[in-house]
Amino acid sequence: MLSPGLGTLDFIGQDARPPPGRSQSKVEQVPHESNQNVIDPNNPTQFASINVSSDEEDSGSASSSNGFERVVNIKTCPLCHRPRLKGKSEADIVTHLAVCASGDWARVDRIVVGNFVTASQAQRKWYTKMLTKITSGDYQLGANSANIIVQNRITGQLEEEKMQGYVRIGIRLLYKGASSRMEGGRARKLLKSMSIKQGQKYDSPESAREIQAFIEFHNLNLEEIKDPLDSFKSFNEFFYRKLKETARPVDKPEDPSRMVSCADCRMMAFETVSEATRLWIKGREFSVNRLLGETYAHEAPKYDGGALGIFRLAPQDYHRFHSPVDGVVGPMTYIAGEYYTVNPQAIRTQLDVYGDNARKIVPIDSPVFGRVMCVCIGAMMVGSIVTTVKEGEPIARGQEFGWVLFQMHPALCR
């Protein structure tokens, strides 16, 4: 989304920060506090662990026989290797660790895992971390890898974006060194073919069987979905599901100067386009002129100094988008293009993903912000863009104006 002449950009999430504990597609939720594995890099056969119950561990191991949750759950001392500590009280375990560590405080490093970015990373064994680095790349902020780190705006914690392992590896293989793998005609045809086939698959009635597994993998909140699950006759119908009207209240509806998020998303905001290209968008041919296409090429210069917001949707997100401002819908235009992934690893290559991908330009003339350009960009597998408003119609902040689905069919991009 582009806005001309806008100073400091204050994006307020459309969900207005729902209370903690409520599942929200905007960022992944962490059900419990993180647990810290006991890892001795010099003793890879060690099985000792200290943890707090989490979704990735057997919750039964963190509870005592009388049903309460144990904060300390350790089987073997990582320092003296004394076995059968699990049956002792938590106070006795802590005392035992303190006595063992007092002989050589440097050995405390064996108990507490350091130098981790997210809670899920801290929970992994050393060999899992090594495999992750080999297959997905570095695990750190700003790394050009398939490990996507996002910040939860409710908790402030850094979290790893959840995706299937084969998807993560595939993205890394395809877009690491993208100039050699993805810029050729064969690669573009492959992505187009995959998008068409995926759309056909998820339009079939048989695909409805995958809905429940998808919900469980991404821990989606069913309470906010408008229609019952058995009403979805295909996976695609569930993919562009509607939410209840109360699920995403607009922040300060009485204040038209308050710009809101377009979607449940991973959001990045930049005060200027040049800042965005310096920090994030690395496509060598990217420009506002190319992004907006021929129809709006004459308007491109006024956005060069304007603010830029990027709202990236992950597969588990609610895939309808809403107006960030109050205004009137201007002339819309569809631009045919490619179907590269909008994953950060692709955005940070030399490919001009935003300027090459299929997209629809939806201008909204706002009395407060001027003409705001909403650019709805298709992606790998998710290639069809459907708008639900017409030129000349008034639109309010938070009002739906379109959705995307698993398919690639220009006729749907209306």
Locate 14 and state its tokens.
Answer: 């459309």
Locate 272 and state its tokens.
Answer: 């200027």
Find the distance separating the first CA and the last CA of the chain, reported in whole Å: 19
| Burial class for 255, CB neighbours closer than 10 Å (0-12, 13-18, 19+) | exposed
H, E, C per residue of 382-410: ECEEEECCCCCCEECCCCEEEEEECECCH
- pLDDT of 389 reads 96
Which parts of the chain register pLDDT below 70? 5-73, 105-147, 164-185, 407-414
CA 17 to chain centre: 17
Residue 376's DSSP bridge partners are 360
- pLDDT of 16 reads 37
Nearest to 52 by CA among 72, 77, 27, 76: 72
Locate 114 and state its tokens.
Answer: 């350091």
- pLDDT of 400 reads 96
CA atoms of 283 and 137, how far apart (whole Å): 21
88 Cβ partners below 8 Å, 6+ apart? Answer: 96
Locate 159 and state its tokens.
Answer: 């979290």
Q: Residue 258: in which H helix or E strand, if any?
A: none
- pLDDT of 106 reads 63
Tokens 């905007």 -> residue: 26
- pLDDT of 305 reads 86
Q: What are the C-alpha distances in Å from 368 to residues 5, 258, 400?
A: 11, 9, 20
- pLDDT of 411 reads 36
Question: In this predicted model, what pLDDT tens digit does every residue of 40-60 receive, in sequence order?
Answer: 444 433 333 333 333 333 333
Tokens 């914690």 -> residue: 157
Neighbours of 296 (CB within 10 A): 21
Answer yes or no: are the C-beta atoms of 373 and 309 closer than 8 Å.
Answer: no
- pLDDT of 332 reads 97
- Report CA Rg, the chain: 24
